[in-house]
Amino acid sequence: MIDFINSIVVLLNFVIIPGLSYGSQLALGALGVTFVYAVLRFANFAHGELMSFGAMITILFTWFFQSQNIGLGILPTALIALPFGILATIVLGLLSDKFVFKYYRKQKSVPVVLAMVSIGVMFVVNAIIRIIVGTETIKFSDGQKFIMKAKQFKAMTGLNEGLALKSSQVITILITILLLTFTFWFLQKTKTGKSMRAFSDNEDLALLSGINPDRVVFITWLIVGTLACVAGTLYGLDKSYKPIIYLNLVLPVFASAIVGGIGSPFGAVVGGYVIAFSEIMVTYAYKKFFKYLLPESLEPSSLVQLLSTDYKFAVSFTILVIVLLIRPSGIFRGKVL
Amino acid sequence: MRFDKYEWTAISIMVSLFIFVGFVQGWSVSLVILNMCIISAIMTMGVNISWGYAGVINFGVMGFLAMGGLAAVLVSYPPIKEAWQVGGSGLGISFILLILLVIAVFFITKLVEKKSHKYWFNGLVILFGLIIIRYFFLNATAKIEEIDPALAGFLGGANLPIIFSWVVGGFFAGGVAFVIGKVALGLRSDYLAIVTLGISEIVVSVLKHEEWLSRGVKNVIGLKRPVPYEINLQNSEWFINMVTWFNSSKLNNIIDPDTKQEVLNNLIIDGSGIFVKLNYALLFFIVMIVIYYFANKAQISPWGRMMRAIRDNEVSANAMGKDIVKQHLIIFVIGAAIVGVAGAMLVTLDGLFTPSGYRPLRFTFIIWIMVIVGGSGNNLGAIFGGFVIWFAWIEVAPLTTFLIEIFTSGMDPQNAIRLHLLDSVPYFRYLLMGMVLLLILRYRPKGIIPEKVRHS
């Protein structure tokens, strides 16, 4: 029995908790992509840079607060800086819409052109970020790093295996729950949310029934900016902030949105967790897990690893390709592109 | 290939830019930029063929370039015999098993009728097949990677002249493109963009981590060249005579024989570098012209007309009896193959293969900016875009340094903002690329040299 609990703890420590926090970050990112896709109707390649930009502003404000000795004690200072980051990201989103995307929306350009345009925006934002903070890795998490260390857990329960709980992971999961609840409540219950859903479902009909398109676009950027900044900051808080990482992150984010069914908010969230868990589960070495479960004679000699960790990124695209082959509209029947 | 006035202007501006750089920064710099420009132009033509002719989006440029690079390694590197001895049989067995697996899956798909059963059977067969193959494969590759890891640790290549790899690279990239196209070409364009981008990441990560094949992140260095080495040139009679002849007026003015010899030696060292780069430029230029010629021929042929018809109105082209799926696949493969040729040339020029150097920003998005800026659907435009953007990519750094120096000249030289700006000079090129793309898309969406409308 104790072996069984040990094996579960191993799984919790190395697969489930990291999966949940990484999945939350992907889910928030994918939700942003899906919002842009559903309302503005294009694949926004600049979303990764939007996340990066939000995280950068948050870092700048964190530094400012740290220099002023303002802090939250055991919680990271970044949490007070986050609202400023969100504000800046929303402003950036609105500016990019006003000066770039709006023109093509009025022209009724095809989605591919808008995707190309978003690549231009991606380059510009990328350059701005690099010019401001460079390309170095930045660690900005402060406060108490662990809620529970592996040693404490071992002493507390008397088990062989430790369970470490980083505060950044718990914060990630809590904020994600909060933000997702709010977003879904907003979409389902408020009048503005309903008008947004109507607009995304059938633009002409929505216009006919008197929905103001500019207002819908404005609200969309509010939500997208918030989601992007929070996702970017949480990712940076959990791992560390590095501008180039967000460019690589944009592909798993897209994969999550598409796997869940692009244009479907619920699908994006599920897709985020699907991608995160499969990335971690496929590349995790299960040797320790089986060591506790199986009798000694059957103990595995190899690592029991399906793919080496080098292929972490490749896993998400493989899932993307498989989903597209079997069910092109994604798990939750988003729009077929 | 008759150019109009506008196109002649574009060509002459480009030529004079290179001459300008030659005089200001030296001919060696100018030729280095020229060589990369030509390779970029070939990549751009490859993308332009699929995007400009038929509207098939290809964001997998990076992966196809890497396949071309792999071809350069596999063609030119000498084979490593011990590796073949210890691992060859294991690899052979796993390869045969893989073929058997594919055949089995093919028959199950044919024989089993119920759809849900089909998925289950196929899944089981693939799972068990892969487990067996993995056993042989991992054994073999582990043995191969153990052999002399500092110098070898991979299978090596065929020891042929590297120039053959340009063709082989085309076939490699085309083969990968065929598989990708079979899977993904049914999707609508922005989906296809994301999928090709993702698959190119997979291709590069395979090349990065399958050390038995490509040496992975340990890189392959010292690939053979198709052109002479500087050191051999410097010791050969005819080259010294040629340099002497070229600079005879300059050398004749020097009377002291020691100084004369020293000046001559310097000239020979400079000259050998330039001569090698000129040779590369000539080879690349020939390839570019050949591809350009055939691409143009294809564009004005009935086949090219059909492609335009498919691009402009898929439904009516389909109604006229054109097989859209097949034609899309064909043009996707052709475009990717040309990109593969460019990838092999890139590795030939560098003389080394570094899989970790393939990044989407540099090898996919920049190429796309070249296509959009140059003018999609026009081959000359594609070449021009490749030249202009690569030229700007390189020359923007000295230019920004110069501009920052001017604008901050009033500040204290140790001013923090000034120093920070000078530190971030390399990032201004991204800003420029983004701005150029946005401006072109807004004010000249057909590119600098737009496609010619043909009414034939």
How far from the centroid of its chain's Cα atoms is residue B6's Cα? Answer: 28
Q: B109 to chain A nearest CA, in Å?
A: 14
Query: Considering the domain boundaries, does residue B451 fall inside one?
Result: no
How many Cβ pairs closer than 8 A exist between chain A and B? 124
Lookup: tokens for A218: 């404005």
CB A96 within 8 A of CB A114: no
Residues B57, B183: one domain? yes
Q: Does A331 reside within a domain? A: no
Please indicate, yes or no, whether residues B268 and B368 belong to a single structural domain of this protein. yes
Q: What are phi and psi of A146, to 5 degrees?
A: -115, 140
Q: For the purposes of burial, counting CB atoms within 10 Å of the CB of A197, is it exposed (0-12), middle (13-18) or buried (19 or more)?
A: middle
Asked if B430's CB is within 8 angstroms of A126's CB, the reply is: yes
Q: What residues in B contact A52, CB-CB < 8 Å?
A: none
Question: Are B173 and B26 contained in the same domain?
Answer: yes
Interface-testing mutation among B438, B442, B443, with chain A (most A C-beta atoms within 10 A): B438
* Residues B334 and B391 grouped into a single domain: yes
Which DSSP letter does residue A239 get? S
Is B122 within 8 Å of B108 (Cβ atoms)?
A: yes
Residues B137 and B182 placed together within one structural domain of the fold:
no
Q: B134 and B17, same structural domain?
A: no
Q: Who among A113, A251, A337 is closest to B191 (CB)?
A: A337
Does the CB of B423 have a partner CB in chain A at under 8 Å?
A: yes
Residue for token pair 């992007």: A228
Indicate the number of domains in chain B: 2
**Residue B59, in any domain of the structure:** yes
B94 and B30 part of one domain: no
Instruction: Assess whether B67 and B205 both reside in one domain.
Output: yes
Residues B188 and B84 in one domain: no
Structural domain includes residue A336: no
Q: Which residues of B176-187 are buried (b: 16+ CB within 10 A; e: fewer)?
A: bbbebbeebbeb
Which of residues 207 through 266 in chain B touch A, CB cutoff 8 A?
A: 208-209
Of B190, B435, B442, the CB nearest to A115: B190
CATH of the domain at A126: 1.10.3470
Q: Which residues of B touch A120 (CB under 8 A)?
A: 434-435, 437-438, 441
| Residue B230: CA count within 13 A, CB half-sphere | 12
Where in the sequence is the domain holding B236, given as residue range(s)? 5-79+156-443
pLDDT tens digits, A130-182: 999 988 888 888 877 788 787 888 888 777 777 888 888 999 999 999 999 99
Of B186, B194, B441, which has the smallest distance from its Cβ to A116's Cβ? B441
- Residue B9 CA to residue B20 CA, distance in Å, equals 16
Please give the residue of chain A at the shortest CA–CA distance from B371: A116
User: Of B122, B151, B180, which residue constitutes the final position of a domain?
Assistant: B151
Q: Which domain holds residue A212?
A: 2-326
Burial class (CB in 10 A: 0-12, 13-18, 19+), B376: buried
Closest-CA distance, B230 to chain A, in angstroms, reads 37
The DSSP code for B220 is: B
Interface test with B, best of A123, A282, A303, A310 (most B CBs within 10 A): A123
Per-residue pLDDT in tens (0 to 9) along chain B, 456 residues: 578 888 899 899 999 999 999 998 889 999 999 999 999 999 999 999 999 999 899 999 999 999 999 999 999 988 888 888 888 888 888 889 989 988 988 888 888 777 777 778 888 888 888 888 888 888 888 888 887 777 777 887 888 899 999 999 999 999 999 999 988 887 777 788 888 988 898 999 899 888 888 888 888 888 888 888 888 888 888 888 888 888 787 777 777 888 888 888 888 888 888 999 999 999 999 999 999 999 999 988 999 999 999 998 889 999 999 999 999 999 999 999 999 999 999 999 998 899 988 988 889 999 999 999 998 889 999 999 999 999 999 999 888 888 888 888 777 777 888 888 888 888 999 999 999 999 999 999 999 988 887 765
Min distance A154 CA to chain B CA atoms (Å): 37
Answer yes or no: is A221 within a domain.
yes
Task: Tell me whether B12 touches chain A (CB under 8 Å).
Answer: no
In a domain? residue A137: yes
Q: Would you tell me which residues 23-62 of chain B have a C-beta closer than 8 angstroms to some C-beta of chain A?
A: 57
CB A77 within 8 A of CB A70: yes
Does A332 map to a domain?
Answer: no
CB contact under 8 A, B199 and A103: no
Give me the interface pTM, i.e. the ipTM. Answer: 0.90
Of all residues in chain A, the one with the smallest CA distance to B446 is A113
| Domain termination site, one of B151, B179, B213 | B151
- Do B209 and B327 lie in one domain? The reply is yes
Chain A touched by B438 (CB under 8 Å): yes
In sequence order, what are the residues at sequence separation of 6 or more whose Cβ sits closer than 8 angstroms to the Cβ of residue B237? none
Q: Is residue B207 part of a domain?
A: yes
User: Contact, A287 vs A303, CB < 8 A?
Assistant: yes
Which residues from A are below 8 Å from B184, CB to CB?
321, 324
What pTM does this model have?
0.91
CA distance B186 to chain A (A): 10
Between CA B200 and CA B222 the distance in angstroms is 26
Q: Is residue B455 part of a domain?
A: no
Question: Which distant-in-sequence residues (6+ apart) come within 8 Å of A85 by Cβ?
Answer: A54, A55, A56, A57, A58, A61, A229, A233
In this structure, is residue B107 part of a structural domain? yes
Do the domain assignments include residue B164? yes
B134 and B270 inside one domain:
no
Is residue B293 assigned to a domain?
yes
Total number of domains in chain A = 1
Binary contact (B431, A131; C-beta < 8 A): yes
Which of B151, B182, B201 is the last residue before a domain boundary? B151
Q: Between the CA of residue A200 and those of A42, A206, A264, B236, what are the distances in Å?
A: 12, 8, 10, 73
Query: Which tokens in the block code for residue B337?
Result: 């193959």
Shared domain check, B131 and B221: no
For residue B39, being part of any structural domain is answered with: yes
Q: Is residue A277 part of a domain?
A: yes
Residue A188 within a domain: yes
Interface check B115 vs A, CB under 8 A: no
